[in-house]
Amino acid sequence: MRGDIIVQKYGGTSVANVERIMHVAERVVKTKKNGYKVVVVVSALGDTTDELIALANRITDEPPERELDMLMATGEQVSSALLAMAIQKIGEEAISFTGAQVGIMTDRAHTKARIQGVDAKRILKELEKDRIVIVAGFQGITEDQEITTLGRGGSNITAVALAAVLKAQECEMNTDVDGVYTADPRIVKDARKIDQISYEEMLEMASSGAQVLQARSIEAASKFGVRIHVRGTFHETEGTIISKEVRAMENVLVSGITLTKNEAKVTVCDVPDKPGSAAKIFEMLGEANINVDMIIQNVSRTGATDVSFTVPRDELAKTLKVANKVSGEIGAHGVTYDEEMAKVSAIGIGMRSHSGVAATMFKTLADEGINIDMISTSEIKISCVIKKTNGEKAVKALHKAFDLGKKS
Amino acid sequence: MRGDIIVQKYGGTSVANVERIMHVAERVVKTKKNGYKVVVVVSALGDTTDELIALANRITDEPPERELDMLMATGEQVSSALLAMAIQKIGEEAISFTGAQVGIMTDRAHTKARIQGVDAKRILKELEKDRIVIVAGFQGITEDQEITTLGRGGSNITAVALAAVLKAQECEMNTDVDGVYTADPRIVKDARKIDQISYEEMLEMASSGAQVLQARSIEAASKFGVRIHVRGTFHETEGTIISKEVRAMENVLVSGITLTKNEAKVTVCDVPDKPGSAAKIFEMLGEANINVDMIIQNVSRTGATDVSFTVPRDELAKTLKVANKVSGEIGAHGVTYDEEMAKVSAIGIGMRSHSGVAATMFKTLADEGINIDMISTSEIKISCVIKKTNGEKAVKALHKAFDLGKKS
């Protein structure tokens, strides 16, 4: 048991410039002075990764992924080295490493590699020398010594993997917000910071619009039992702890309300009720790498039925091309779409054992005069697709209906 | 024997932007189409290295050298990946590597590491697959997997080391000038491009002001018998071949005239003629890391003598501080200096076997009314320190006196 290790991850906005790097250095040193061994994972400075990709795109429309990884991996190497300098400037010993140097082994899937193992020896050796260890996030190496990157949210994955293998007490995700909220505070004025939330709820919130953490890193944390602490780089307060189910006594039905605004709804009309028709649609969408979210198909009473689904709005054009093609092939009657949709979701482990959440949700939206286009449910989530113009009104009403606001 | 390999090095100005990278890619592909296996060594884009150092200096006045190496090594990784993309865009297969990935092993002297060995296996494997191999210059790795950089001119050293271990036919140094000239063409209008020059002459020219190549990479090339071809990235013509002594039949006395303009002359006056007095001066200058070039001490006839030496002008202030201190300690009579000096040199292997070069040189300068302050000679070089204002006049006169201009 090495309960005295803390892994801290700092995102790109947290190290966007020299002043912020100095601030992060001070936070790291403070944690060390509080008696912890600290391992820091950093993202690239500000928009560096996007800038590097833009540079590659000026050379070629389709940069080869192996070379893109060589290029992008430099971003985190730069920020790691600078943070090590900043910490040493304050007077603590620090040493930075690339993913390769600390043995973050991945598969060969360039630009979206998966971590297969971490060899913690080098990190533990440096921690024993009383040094702060800084690891370049987002990157790893294959057994052939090829540099890989881990895709979106890759630095979070690096942090969770290190926390798991080091048996860290906590994996801090330092970001530009100070925790996870019951709803987006920009929409709901009295949204409350959630102190504790389960992996499952956080997972549903992440896939329903809460931008704090990607589903992938929450899944990994859940798998390895890594306790996550989402907190603000520029806040001194405690943030939100994500861990196993913890709140039986609190009796909370709904933990949060999320909203995604960039949904497009597509309907393939009058799909013949033959085995394999619907499968064909989603097979072709899958081949085109289109991210289908909700899928609705009602019972057929006329030998044909409408099949509706939602996709991110920026994938609509591509989707319509595929959908029109497949509509012809399966003998459906064309495609309609609405690109101005939003998805509002209520999430809470309490739903599992309490009925009535769905009823409250639908009644609240009805009372506000908001029409529900599509409904989808999971064990701990209910999502409704509505007109985008109603999105914020729906979040406010639901936040109030489930009594999530600050207690006065 | 793998006589069909060519190593091409491109400096920072050659890959300063996307357009130039595309140009370099085309040159590389052309060489491959001419039947060669091509290994390319690249420097960082334009001023990247200086920009990274400036960033580090905004964090700390004395960046730790290990972290500086982590930081700087990213520059060449970026340019390598971009060049690989550019070559693939044109339709040839290419793959980029960091120094670590191709086994460029160095000692542990961060920011000025020396290459200790290169494991060419990976490169040869890729060349056999008919790929163009791109290697990030300027960097290596220690046996502990620490990233190092090779100091000034490091990419040239990388190129020479690879050419040596790959037994390449030639190591092309592509730069912004199209070869080595008999004198600086900005000063001497009819300066002639030298077709062939020996390592020794090039070494003397490099240390006497010709900026094309650092002495260090010429020494390495000489040691391993690597044939160097200095040529212009943006020129199609042949450049200058640097190899073993080659010109016995040509009977050239002097190969080139060089000029360094930023010399300062310092004299410690009336140094007592006791053993160890002069040694003390240069011992202390050495400890202060001052780069002393020429040293002149004449015979003492009065029990004391003047000791003069030259230093780069930007080290004058530091030098005077040390010199004044040591002057007091050894009982000399103070320090005088002149910061407006230049050094003009005539270099040529022919001097070895022919007398009269010195006489021609001194007479030429005298005829121009140029006073010689200090003289220093080596087997194949004569250098004279003169007033800086006379520098260009001296170069022109000597270039003419030794008949180095274009033959009409």
> Which residue is closest to A61 within chain B, CA to CA?
B89
Return the closest-CA partner of residue A85 out of B66, B150, B231: B66
pLDDT for the residue numbered B1: 36
Identify whether the C-beta of residue A264 lies closer than 8 Å to the C-beta of residue A345.
no
Of the listed ranges A98-112, A231-245, A338-352, B239-253, the least confidently predicted one is B239-253
Report yes or no: B21 at the A interface, CB cutoff 8 Å.
yes
Rounded Cα gap, residues A386 and A179, in angstroms:
27
Extract the runs of DSSP E, i.e. beta strands, from B47-165. 94-97, 104-106, 115-118, 132-136, 139-141, 147-149
Contacts of A63 in chain B (CB under 8 A): 85
Q: What is the DSSP string of B60-71?
A: -SS--HHHHHHH
Which residue in A49, A71, A146 has the most chain B C-beta atoms within 10 A of its own C-beta, making it the best mutation to test that interface? A71
**Torsion (CA) A22, A28, A34, A36 in degrees, nearest 10:** -160
Give yes or no for a contact between A322 and A288, defined as CB atoms under 8 angstroms apart: yes
Query: From A68, which residue of chain B is nearest by alpha-carbon distance?
Result: B81
Q: Chain A residues with CB inside 8 Å of B147's CB?
A: 98, 101
Q: Cite the beta strand spans of B25-130 per DSSP E.
A: 37-42, 94-97, 104-106, 115-118
Measure in Å the smallest separation between the Cα of A88 and chain B Cα atoms.
Answer: 8
The answer on pLDDT for A98 being more than 80 is yes
Q: Label each residue of chain A as H, E or C.
A: CCCCEEEEEECHHHHCCHHHHHHHHHHHHHHHHCCCEEEEEECCCCCHHHHHHHHHHHHCCCCCHHHHHHHHHHHHHHHHHHHHHHHHHHCCCEEEECCCCCCEEECCCCCCCCEEEECCHHHHHHHHCCCEEEEECCEEECCCCCEEECCCCHHHHHHHHHHHHCCCCEEEEEECCCCCECCCCCCCCCCCECCEEEHHHHHHHHCCCCCCCCHHHHHHHHHHCCCEEEEECCCCCCCEEEECCCCHHHCCCCCEEEEEEEEEEEEEEEEECCCCHHHHHHHHHHHCCCCCCCEEECCCCCCEEEEEEEEEHHHHHHHHHHHHHHHHHHCCCCEEEEEEEEEEEEECHHHHCCCCHHHHHHHHHHHCCCCCCEEEEECCEEEEEEEHHHHHHHHHHHHHHCCCCCCC
CA distance A18 to chain B (A): 7
Contacts of A81 in chain B (CB under 8 A): 56, 67-68, 70-71
Mutation target vs A (from B15, B45, B53, B82; most A CBs, 10 A cutoff)? B82
Q: For residue range B191-223, what is the model confidence (pLDDT) as tens digits?
A: 999 999 999 999 988 877 777 788 889 999 999
CA distance B34 to A195: 68
Residue A2 confidence class, pLDDT cut points 50, 70, 90: very low
Predicted confidence at residue B256, as pLDDT, reads 93
Q: Return the CATH number of B256-401, one of 3.10.180.10, 3.30.2130.10, 2.40.37.10, 3.40.50.2300.
A: 3.30.2130.10
B175, B200 Cβ separation under 8 angstroms: no
What's the pLDDT at B340? 93
Rounded to the nearest angstrom, the minimum Cα separation between B42 and chain A is: 14
The closest CB to that of B81, out of A67, A77, A95, belongs to A67
Q: At a CB cut-off of 8 Å and minimum separation 6, what does B80 contact?
A: A70, B42, B96, B97, B98, B134, B135, B136
Q: With CA atoms as reference, report the closest residue to A143 among A169, A171, A119.
A: A119
B21:A68 CB<8 A: no
Across the interface, whether the CB atoms of B85 and A18 are under 8 A apart is answered: no
Between CA A210 and CA A202 the distance in angstroms is 9
Average pLDDT over chain A reads 91
Does A77 contact B80 at a Cβ distance shorter than 8 Å?
no
Q: Tell me whether B113 touches chain A (CB under 8 Å).
A: no
Chain A residues close to B73, C-beta within 8 Å: 77
pTM for this prediction: 0.86
CA B293 – CA B280 distance, rounded (Å): 17
- Tell me if chain B has a CB within 8 Å of the CB of A89: yes
CA dist A396 and A392 (Å) reads: 6
- Distance separating alpha carbons of residues B173 and B240, to the nearest angstrom: 10
pLDDT in tens, B149-185: 999 889 999 999 999 999 999 999 999 889 999 999 9
User: Per DSSP, which regions of B154-255 are E strands?
Assistant: 170-175, 196-198, 228-232, 240-243
Q: How far apart are CA B60 and CA A86, in angstroms?
A: 7
Low-confidence ranges of chain B (pLDDT < 70): 1-3, 245-251, 300-301, 408
Residue B382's DSSP bridge partners are B346, B377
**Which of A23, A26, A48, A59 to mutate to probe the B interface, most B CBs <10 Å?**
A59
CA A150, A151, A155, A160: dihedral to nearest 10 degrees? -60
Do A193 and A173 contact (CB within 8 A), yes or no? Answer: no
Sequence letter at residue B229: H
Residues A14, A155: Cα–Cα separation, whole Å? 13
A21 touches chain B (CB under 8 A): yes
How far, in Å, CA of A189 to CA of A195, rounded? 18
Query: pLDDT per residue over A229-280, tens digit each?
Result: 999 999 989 999 999 866 554 567 899 999 999 899 999 999 888 878 888 8
Average pLDDT over every residue of A355-370: 90
Is the pLDDT confidence value at A203 over 50? yes
Smallest Cα distance from B291 to chain A, Å? 29
pLDDT classification of A406: cutoffs 50, 70, 90? confident
Decide if A98 and B70 are in contact by the 8 Å CB cutoff: yes
- Asked if the model's pLDDT at residue A317 lies above 70, the reply is yes
- The pLDDT assigned to A275 comes to 79
Contact criterion met (CB < 8 Å) for B96 and A59: no
Quote the pLDDT of residue B250. 55
Contacts of B18 in chain A (CB under 8 A): 55, 58-59
Identify all chain A residues contacting B89, using CB atoms and an 8 Å cutoff. Answer: 59-60
Structural domain boundaries of chain A? 5-176, 256-401
Mean pLDDT value of segment A359-384: 91
Do the chains contact at A84 and B98, CB–CB below 8 Å? no
Distance CA A108, CA A115 (A): 10
DSSP label at residue B82: H
Number of A–B residue contacts, CB under 8 Å: 105
CA distance B98 to chain A (A): 9
Enumerate the residues of chain A whose CB falls inside 8 A of the CB of residue B64: 84-85, 88
Q: Please give the Cα distance from B313 to B341 (Å, whole number).
A: 9
> Would you tell me how many other CB atoms lie within 10 Å of the CB of residue B342?
23
pLDDT in the model for residue B251: 63
A56: chain B residues, CB-CB within 8 Å: 81-82, 85
* Chain A residue with the nearest C-alpha to that of B78: A71
Interchain contact A88–B (C-beta under 8 A): yes
Q: Alpha-carbon torsion B400, B401, B402, B407, what sign?
A: positive
Under an 8 A CB cutoff, do A70 and B89 touch?
no
The C-alpha atoms of residue A67 and residue B78 are separated, in whole angstroms, by 9
- Does the domain made of B5-176 have the CATH classification 3.40.1160.10? yes
Do A324 and A337 meet the contact criterion of CB atoms below 8 Å apart?
Answer: no
Q: Which residue of B has its CA nearest to A56?
A: B82
Please say if the pLDDT value at position A298 is more than 90. no
Overall average pLDDT of the A309-329 stretch? 93
CB contact under 8 A, A85 and B77: no
**From the centroid of its chain, how far is CA B97?**
25
Query: Is the Cβ pair B64, A88 closer than 8 Å?
Result: yes
d(CA B193, CA B102): 35
Tell whether A99 lies on the interface with B, counting CB pairs under 8 A: no
Position B378 scores a pLDDT of 85
Between CA B125 and CA A2 the distance in angstroms is 44
Question: Does A84 score more than 80 pLDDT?
Answer: yes
Q: Which of the residues B70, B125, B126, B147 would you substitute to probe the A interface, choosing the one with the greatest number of A C-beta atoms within 10 Å?
A: B70
Helix axes A65-90 and B65-90, enclosed angle (nearest 10): 170
Judged by CB atoms closer than 8 Å, whether chains meet at A77 and B89 is answered as no
Which residues of chain A make contact with B70, given a CB cutoff of 8 A? Answer: 77, 80-81, 84, 96, 98
